[in-house]
Amino acid sequence: MKLAVVAAATFFMGALAAPSPAQATQYSDAEWRVEDYPGHTVIVNGTIETLVAQLRQLGHPQKQQHSASTRPGQGETAARNAPQQFDADADTPTATVARRNIDFSGGSYYCGGPLPYAHMAAYWEGMRYLQSIIGEVRVPPGPGMCSRVSCSYGAAVYICNDRKDELYLDSFARIADGLSYVITRCATNNWGTTMVAGQVFHPDQWNVIVRSDYC
């Protein structure tokens, strides 16, 4: 199913010192790593949806994650020793990773501009996967190296590496934090339904782009 794309009518700049949005010079698949059971790691290139499809194909017996209510100091042990059933189709994540949200407050962000708007509701599936599956993601060295990390129903998320070395994120949920940041600041009802497009720059020289795209 394809959702309609509405061209951006407005452009908001969150800070004056940031580079212009979506200036990628290269594109490459992100590399996802998930330990599906102790001692065995699944490595997939592509989007989070590609990863989920591969995990389903493999029968993905369990997933190691823990509740956000885990007491300080117990999180890593619980994550390693208490595997739980993976359910990519649940309405909410089967568990939430106990972690600190990544802080984008020191960076800049843009809304709209050259980025085409997507239906906000189309992001919930990708958001759920990013928040619930535990693993690592890597993007090749930049600067200007972008990877499409989620795309469904015409709604895409990219992460871009502006560093000269490989970008390594120790949690998929770091991407979800950037997506949430853009949604919170850039969602609009100007066209009678909630749409969103934007880009947020993290101080550590990587950024998240939220836009419509062909999936």
Q: What is the rounded distance in angstroms from the CA atom of residue 135 to the CA atom of residue 70?
A: 19
Model confidence pLDDT, tens digit, residues 28-58: 999 999 988 888 899 999 999 999 999 998 8
Domain limits, the chain: 11-19+37-212
Q: Which residue would you say has higher pLDDT here, 165 or 4?
A: 165
pLDDT at 195: 96
59 band by pLDDT with thresholds 50, 70 and 90: confident
Section 156-174 average pLDDT:
94
Q: Which residue would you say has higher pLDDT here, 7 or 170?
A: 170
> How far is residue 62 CA from its own chain's centroid?
22
pTM: 0.73
Residue 153: name the closest of 194, 189, 119, 116 by CA.
Answer: 119
CB contact at 8 A, 109 and 2: no
